[in-house]
Amino acid sequence: MKHIFIKGKNEIAPTLLLLHGTGGNERDLLPLAQMIAPDSSVLGVRGNVEENGMPRFFRRLQEGVFDEEDLVFRTKELNTFIDKMSKEYLFDRNNVVAIGYSNGANIAASLMYHDNKALMGAILFHAMVPIRGIELPDLSSVKVFIGAGKRDPLIPPLETKELADKLREAKAIVTEHWGEGGHELTREEVEKANEWFKVNYSN
């Protein structure tokens, strides 16, 4: 997978896994990483799927309808890739926090849905329920920040609420922030994510 790795100043801070939205790339969320955790190492990854020339992390059948078979395959592929990168770049595989936006947030959620050791934590901006009808693993050691827009035209609030509820049922520690905007990222939710990160991961 195409990616970028930047070693951070703080070697015991979590490594940030950066997962872009549809049409993005491995560098898209670097400014976010700087705002949220400037001393952390970062692994930015580009999705392996293309939709009309735009990179994504998994296929969809239409807007809001995921190709679940491909989602499961790509989730395992990404998880294995993180394992491999941890050995190549010598970061702690058990100390990874994802920052995902939209499609990237959905694959991050899918990682947690399928493997309780895939991520130590996650910041999910504008995420949906990745898949239904499966039993989630015990996520009692996982902390999740969810940033959402009350007027998001692509993701109904009930969809994000369901995601938060499912993660809580799996014993994850979930913090929600609801802004007044739509699907776009806002400075307010990034600042809230920074506050959340400092509370949970600052040494």
Which residues make Cβ contacts (< 8 Å) with residue 62, sequence separation at least 6?
A: none
pLDDT at 65: 80
pLDDT at 63: 74
Burial 150-185 (b: 16+ CB within 10 A, else e): eebeebeeeebeebbebbeebebebbbbebebebeb
pLDDT at 114: 97
Domain holding 128, by residue range, is 3-201
Structural domains of the chain, count: 1
Place of tokens 């976010």: 32
pLDDT at 60: 85
Q: What's this model's pTM, rounded to 2 decimal places?
A: 0.96
pLDDT at 25: 97
pLDDT at 76: 98
pLDDT at 203: 61
pLDDT at 193: 98
pLDDT at 61: 82
**Residue 198: is it exposed, middle or buried by C-beta count within 10 angstroms (0-12/13-18/19+)?**
exposed
Catalytic residues: 102, 152, 183
Mean pLDDT by groups of 10 residues along the chain of 203 residues = 96 96 97 96 97 93 84 97 98 98 98 97 97 96 97 94 98 97 94 97 78
Q: What is the CATH number of the domain that holds 48?
A: 3.40.50.1820
pLDDT at 181: 92
